[in-house]
Amino acid sequence: MRTDFETLFVERLEPHILVVTLNRPDRRNALNTQMGLDMLELFGGFYVDQEDIRCVVLTGAGSKAFCAGGDLKQRNDMTDETWQNQHAVFEKMTLAIMDCPIPIIAAVNGAAFGGGLEMALSADFLYAARSARFAQTETSLGIMPGAGGTQNLPRACGVRRAKEIIFTAEPFTSEQALEWGIVNKVCDDRQLLDEAMATARKIAANAPIAVRQAKKSISMATQTDLRTGYSFEIEAYNRMVPTEDRLEGVRAFNEKRAPNFKGR
C-alpha cells in the first residue's frame, strides 16, 4: 500500500486501523482530480488486498473542513469533455469507497458540502464534530449531486428529508444531521478523532472475516427484497463456518478470555 499520496495523508496509527486524511487544507480539502485519483487507488486497492487493516477512519486536515466539495477553481472554464472526464474519476472513486470491504468511519471535522458530504455518506457511518456543517449545494450551482448523493442520502434520512436537503441546498448542523439519521454521533470537536478511533478499535477487535461478510450482507438490505437478501446473508454466513476465527471465537468464550482473531 502506498502512503506517499499527493492529496492524502495515510497513517496506520495502530496495527489494524488506518487513518486517511484528506490533505488539501489550503483549499478546505476540496475534491480535485488528483484527490479523486488518489482515493480511487487507495480504496480500490483494498478491494483486492485488505493488508490486515480492519477499520479505516476518514477525516479532513485542519479544523475548518472535512471536504468543501468539488474544487470549483479547478473546474472554472472546464470544457464539457474535461468536466465529464473528471467526473468519471469521481464516479469510480465513489464506487471504490462503497465497495471497500473494510469498514469506514467518516470523522467529519468541519464543513462537508457537496461532494464532501457525498464522500462522507459513502462511508459506513459518520461521527461529526459539534461545529461541523453539512449541505448538498449542487442545485445552487446549476448541477445536482453526482457522487451518490441522491442514493445514499435518502437511505440515511428518508426520501422526503433528502429532497428538502437537495432541492434547497441549505446547510444544516451536526445536531440536525444526528436527528435526521445522517450522523451516528456528535462529538466535542477536540474529541472527534478519539471517539472515532475508540469505535475503530472495537471493530478491529472483532473477527475481520465476520465483519466483512456482515458489511456485504447489510449492503444488500437496501438493494433487494427480504427473501433474496436473507439468502445472501445465509451464503455470507456459511463462508465463516470453516474459518479458524469461528473456532477461536467459541473457544475464547468458553475459556473466558478475549479472542485472538487472525482473519483466517
The CATH number that applies at residue 102 is 3.90.226.10
Both 174 and 235 in a single domain? no
Give the domain range for residue 38: 8-204
Both 222 and 105 in a single domain? no
Q: Residue 242 sits in a domain of what CATH number?
A: 1.10.12.10
Both 52 and 117 in a single domain? yes
CA distance 113 to 105: 18
Both 21 and 57 in a single domain? yes
User: What is the pLDDT at residue 75?
Assistant: 86
Q: Does residue 75 form part of some domain?
A: yes
Q: Does residue 263 form part of some domain?
A: no
The pLDDT of residue 250 is above 90: no
Q: Does residue 87 form part of some domain?
A: yes
Render pLDDT for 7-28 as a digit per residue (tens, 0 to 9): 999 999 899 999 999 999 999 9
Render pLDDT for 100-134 as a digit per residue (tens, 0 to 9): 999 999 999 999 999 999 999 999 999 999 999 99
Q: Does residue 36 form part of some domain?
A: yes
Q: Which residues are catalytic?
A: 118, 138
Both 120 and 228 in a single domain? no
Both 98 and 226 in a single domain? no
Render pLDDT for 49-80 as a digit per residue (tens, 0 to 9): 999 999 999 999 998 999 999 888 888 888 99
**Mean pLDDT comparison of 27-31, 217-221, 239-243, highest-scoring range:** 27-31
pTM above 0.75, yes or no: yes
User: What is the pLDDT at residue 246?
Assistant: 87
Could you give the number of structural domains in the chain? Answer: 2
Q: Which amino acid is at 156?
A: A
Helix (H) or strand (E) holding 56: strand 55-60
CA distance 135 to 114: 6
* Mean pLDDT value across residues 88-97: 96
**Could you tell me which of 242, 109, 248, 128 has the C-alpha nearest to residue 176?**
128
Helix or strand or coil: residue 108?
Answer: strand
Helix (H) or strand (E) holding 25: none
Render pLDDT for 166-176 as a digit per residue (tens, 0 to 9): 999 999 999 99
Both 135 and 37 in a single domain? yes
Contacts of 42 by beta carbon, 8 Å cutoff, 6+ apart? 1, 2, 5, 8, 10, 20
